[in-house]
């Protein structure tokens, strides 16, 4: 079976088993479509909770939640990682950062493409403890400059943190090289994989910690985030990062979503996602007035573009009227990004197909010609 057929068969299987939306769903980077089975296990849990009480129900699904932790660690091929479950990725990052052992006047390496929610947590820590936030040098495409990184780390950093893929731009950071440099030089690193887990291979990345969420490329329900920490880090006790109160229905749904991902194969799903993204970019560049903002073969699922003479919000609204869901990303999403202007974001998952792409292109052509 050739690659194209494998991609097509995978898409059809995922479409067959998902909860079918009543729109063309091209917004997995916000919240992907779950499967019917994920929905079913959540409903089943809620019925059990109503019948038996929340504490008993939680005890009964504990094996599923334990398997969720193992599945998350397996994404990184790191069985020794401790996994904490949080309400979402932003809270997970903020909680982890606030507890991270840093001396006063320590220096944290960050990037200008940092997500605004994480940036707020970084600024809070800086204000609380006098920590200095040091912007790492980026190349022309927005990737961390590895040569300059070594010099900056050598100059004294207590921590390096960055998003593997930003929410406002589909550029992939050289995560293995960056975290390897940090580890070799004795500096811990936190990688935000909210926009990459499930769509990009993360195995054997030597980061000290990862933070992410359930609802995007991993196709879990809303309401679960995670922190995965190396066993030799100072914060290996997951209880320090978790709250006692949680949505166990969402957690068992997330566990089911990861089982499905494992059954299909993470590499197969991520290959389909990046293949679709490349097709979207190449097709969009043929539409008059559309400017694609990533390299055409960038290995991420996020595609961003602008339409000449029309704002991102207007493009999104026009597409939604035609039954197509994408995102409009405002400037507030990346407050440190120099010269960033709003973009339209398309994020096709592995279940997206040629029909979805044809609907998108047809709608954009009609908008361009209006």
Read off the pLDDT of residues 93-131 as tens digits, 9 standing for 90 and up: 999 999 999 988 899 999 999 999 999 999 999 999 999
Confidence (pTM): 0.96
- Whether residues 250 and 148 share a domain: the answer is yes
Examine the domain organization and report whether 97 and 48 are in the same domain. yes
Burial grade of 338 (CB within 10 A; 0-12, 13-18, 19 or more) = exposed
Which candidate, 21, 40, 41, 39, places its Cα nearest to that of 30? 21
Q: Which domain range does residue 72 map to?
A: 38-264
| Residue range 33-84, pLDDT digits in tens | 999 999 999 999 999 999 999 999 999 999 999 999 999 999 999 888 999 9
Q: What is the mean pLDDT of the chain?
A: 94
Distance in angstroms (rounded) separating the CA atoms of residues 361 and 344: 14
CB atoms within 10 A of CB 99: 13
Last residue of a domain, one of 244, 264, 284: 264
Q: Residue 75 in 3-state DSSP?
A: helix
At 178, which helix (H) or strand (E)?
helix 175-184
**Are 186 and 63 part of one and the same domain?**
yes
Same-domain pairing of 299 and 334: yes
Residue 112 sits in the same domain as residue 161: yes
Q: Looking at the structure, do residues 349 and 301 belong to the same domain, yes or no?
A: yes
Provide, rounded to the nearest whole percent, the portion of the chain with pLDDT above 70.
97
> For residue 257, what is the domain's CATH number?
3.40.640.10
What's the confidence (pLDDT) of residue 1? 47
Indicate if 201 and 270 belong to the same structural domain. Answer: no
* Number of structural domains the chain divides into: 2
* Same-domain pairing of 11 and 81: no
Are residue 257 and residue 342 in the same domain, yes or no?
A: no
Opening angle at CA 191, ends 280 and 92, nearest 5: 105
Q: End of a domain among 264, 295, 312?
A: 264
How far apart are alpha carbons 132 and 249 in whole angstroms? Answer: 40
pLDDT digits (tens, 9 = 90+) for 132-179: 999 999 999 999 999 999 999 999 999 999 999 999 999 999 999 999
Domain boundary (218, 237, 264) is at 264
In this predicted model, what pLDDT tens digit does every residue of 264-301 receive, in sequence order?
A: 999 999 999 999 999 999 999 999 999 999 999 999 99
User: Could you tell me if 190 and 208 are in contact, meaning their C-beta atoms sit under 8 angstroms apart?
Assistant: yes
Q: What CATH number corresponds to the domain at position 351?
A: 3.90.1150.10
More confident residue, 301 or 231: 301
Instruction: Supply the pLDDT for residue 29.
Output: 98
Q: Give every strand in the sheet of 209-213, ordered side by side.
A: 82-86, 225-229, 209-213, 189-192, 159-163, 107-110, 132-135
In the prediction, which pLDDT does 3 show? Answer: 59
Q: Does 250 share its domain with 275?
A: no
Say if residue 238's pLDDT is above 70.
no
Residues 189 and 66 grouped into a single domain: yes
Mark whether 279 and 354 lie in a shared domain: yes
Determine what percent of the chain is predicted with pLDDT higher than 90: 89
């Amino acid at each position: 079976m050739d690659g194209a057929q494998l991609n097509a068969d995978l898409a059809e299987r995922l479409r067959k088993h998902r909860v079918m939306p009543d729109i063309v769903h091209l917004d997995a980077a916000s919240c992907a479509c779950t499967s019917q089975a994920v929905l079913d296990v959540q409903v089943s849990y809620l019925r059990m909770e109503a019948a038996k009480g929340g504490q008993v129900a939680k005890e009964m699904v504990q094996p599923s939640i334990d398997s969720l932790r193992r599945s998350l660690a397996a994404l990184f091929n790191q069985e020794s990682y401790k996994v904490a479950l949080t309400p979402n990725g932003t809270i997970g990052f903020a909680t982890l950062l606030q507890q991270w052992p840093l001396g006063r006047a320590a220096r944290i390496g960050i990037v200008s493409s940092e997500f605004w929610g994480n940036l707020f947590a970084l600024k809070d820590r800086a204000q609380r403890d006098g920590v200095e936030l040091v912007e790492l040098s980026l190349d022309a495409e927005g990737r961390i400059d590895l040569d300059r990184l070594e010099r900056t780390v050598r100059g004294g950093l207590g921590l390096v943190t960055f998003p593997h893929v930003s929410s406002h731009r589909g550029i992939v950071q050289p995560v293995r090289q960056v975290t390897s440099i940090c580890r070799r030089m004795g500096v811990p690193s936190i990688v935000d994989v909210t926009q990459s887990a499930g769509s990009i291979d993360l195995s054997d990345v030597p980061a000290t910690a990862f933070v992410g969420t359930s609802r995007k490329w991993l196709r879990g329900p809303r309401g679960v985030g995670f922190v995965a920490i190396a066993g030799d880090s100072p914060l290996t006790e997951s209880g320090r990062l978790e709250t006692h109160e949680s949505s166990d229905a969402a957690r068992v749904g997330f566990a089911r979503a990861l089982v499905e991902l494992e059954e299909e194969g993470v590499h197969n799903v991520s290959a389909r996602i990046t293949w679709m993204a490349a097709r979207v970019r190449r097709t969009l560049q043929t539409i008059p007035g559309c400017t694609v903002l990533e390299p055409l073969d960038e290995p991420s699922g996020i595609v961003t573009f602008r339409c000449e003479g029309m704002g991102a919000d207007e493009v999104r609204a026009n597409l939604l009227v035609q039954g197509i869901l994408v995102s409009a990303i405002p400037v507030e999403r990346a407050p440190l990004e120099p010269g960033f202007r709003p973009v339209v974001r398309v994020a096709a998952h592995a279940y997206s197909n040629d029909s979805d792409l044809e609907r998108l292109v047809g709608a954009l052509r009609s908008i361009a010609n209006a």
